[in-house]
């Protein structure tokens, strides 16, 4: 089945710096890659997603890039703010007839003021 | 639109008991997926329902089961609870759940097994 690896597991940056989180996936048929942000005690929130027919997508300070050949995708957060501190999860859908998301183990991002 | 809701929010059960958790999807969403979240294993897929049919199942024992009703509301049941079943159980809804549409999560049910 699908396997999603996420790195790093923890990331600490200074306010205003950029943060990059990377994920790799194993199922070459995967074609949907969402990112979720989960603050302490809250539900995971979808922050951005990308489909396999595009290589990059941006939404204000966040962007996601996808390299289908290498089977990896990344989340980029620019001009980080303390409220960006949270656990970020990447995910990939299982291709074919499977209807499920496989999640990475998460990255704890801490933005220091 | 109201978001995904889950009841109850917290549960404490004893080993050997069974539990039923409920999930109401966003209005118009027909797919409901269930996940178990633990500090060690992260978010793990349990199963997904669409139009009252289970379309996919994760690698969990048969003690974990679910169903979906005609109004798209879903329940999951865990029988013969074990200590290791303590976790946050999250459901997520999407329009069709074909893996190409956004999934929106509920607040979760925190289950503690003692």
Q: What is the pLDDT of residues B63-107, one digit of tens each?
A: 999 999 999 999 999 999 999 999 999 999 998 756 567 899 999
Among B57, B99, B105, the residue to mutate for chain A (most A Cβ within 10 A): B99
User: Average pLDDT in the A29-48 region?
Assistant: 94
- pLDDT bin (cut points 50, 70, 90) of residue A23 is very high
pLDDT at A110 over 80: yes
Among A9, A35, A39, A100, the residue to mutate for chain B (most B Cβ within 10 A): A100
- Judged by average pLDDT, the poorest of A48-52, A70-74, A97-101, B58-62 is A97-101
**pLDDT, tens digit, 9 for 90 and up, residues A65-81:** 999 999 999 999 999 99
Nearest chain B CA: its distance from A27 CA (Å): 13
What is the interface size between A and B, counted as CB pairs within 8 Å?
A: 60
Taking an 8 Å cut-off on Cβ atoms, the answer to whether B100 and A51 are in contact is yes
Nearest chain A CA: its distance from B3 CA (Å): 11
- pLDDT bin (cut points 50, 70, 90) of residue A96 is low
- pLDDT bin (cut points 50, 70, 90) of residue A53 is confident
Name the residue among A37, A29, A16 with its Cα closest to residue A100.
A29
**pLDDT at residue A100, rounded to an integer:** 85
Average pLDDT, chain B: 93
- pLDDT bin (cut points 50, 70, 90) of residue B16 is very high
- pLDDT bin (cut points 50, 70, 90) of residue B18 is very high
User: Average pLDDT in the B34-61 region?
Assistant: 92
Taking an 8 Å cut-off on Cβ atoms, the answer to whether A100 and B33 are in contact is yes
Token pair of A86, please? 């949270």
Numbered residues of chain A with Cβ closer than 8 Å to any chain B Cβ: 31-32, 34, 36, 42-46, 49, 51, 89, 91, 93-95, 98-106
CB A87 within 8 Å of CB A31: no
3 state SS of A23: strand
Cα gap B16→A19, rounded to integer Å: 45
Taking an 8 Å cut-off on Cβ atoms, the answer to whether B42 and A34 are in contact is no
Average pLDDT, chain A: 93
Q: Which residue of B has its CA nearest to A41?
A: B107
């Amino acid at each position: 089945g699908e396997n999603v690896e996420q790195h790093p597991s923890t990331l600490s940056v200074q306010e205003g710096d950029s943060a990059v989180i990377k994920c790799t996936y194993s199922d070459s048929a995967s074609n949907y890659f969402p990112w979720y942000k989960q603050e302490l005690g809250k539900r995971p929130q979808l922050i951005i997603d990308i489909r396999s027919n595009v290589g990059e997508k941006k939404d204000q300070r966040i962007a996601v890039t996808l390299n289908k050949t290498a089977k990896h995708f990344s989340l980029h957060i620019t001009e980080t703010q303390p409220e960006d501190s949270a656990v970020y999860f990447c995910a990939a859908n299982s291709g074919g007839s499977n209807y499920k998301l496989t999640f990475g183990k998460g990255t704890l991002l801490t933005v220091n003021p | 639109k109201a978001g995904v809701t889950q009841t109850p929010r917290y549960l404490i059960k004893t080993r050997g008991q069974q539990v039923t958790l409920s999930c109401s999807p966003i209005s118009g969403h027909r797919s409901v997926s269930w996940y178990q979240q633990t500090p060690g294993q992260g978010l793990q897929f349990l199963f997904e329902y669409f139009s009252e049919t289970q379309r996919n199942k994760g690698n969990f024992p048969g003690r974990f089961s679910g169903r979906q009703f005609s109004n798209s509301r879903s329940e999951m049941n865990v029988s013969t609870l074990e200590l290791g079943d303590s976790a946050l159980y999250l459901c997520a809804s999407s329009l069709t759940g074909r893996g190409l549409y956004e999934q929106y999560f509920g607040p979760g049910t925190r289950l503690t097994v003692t």
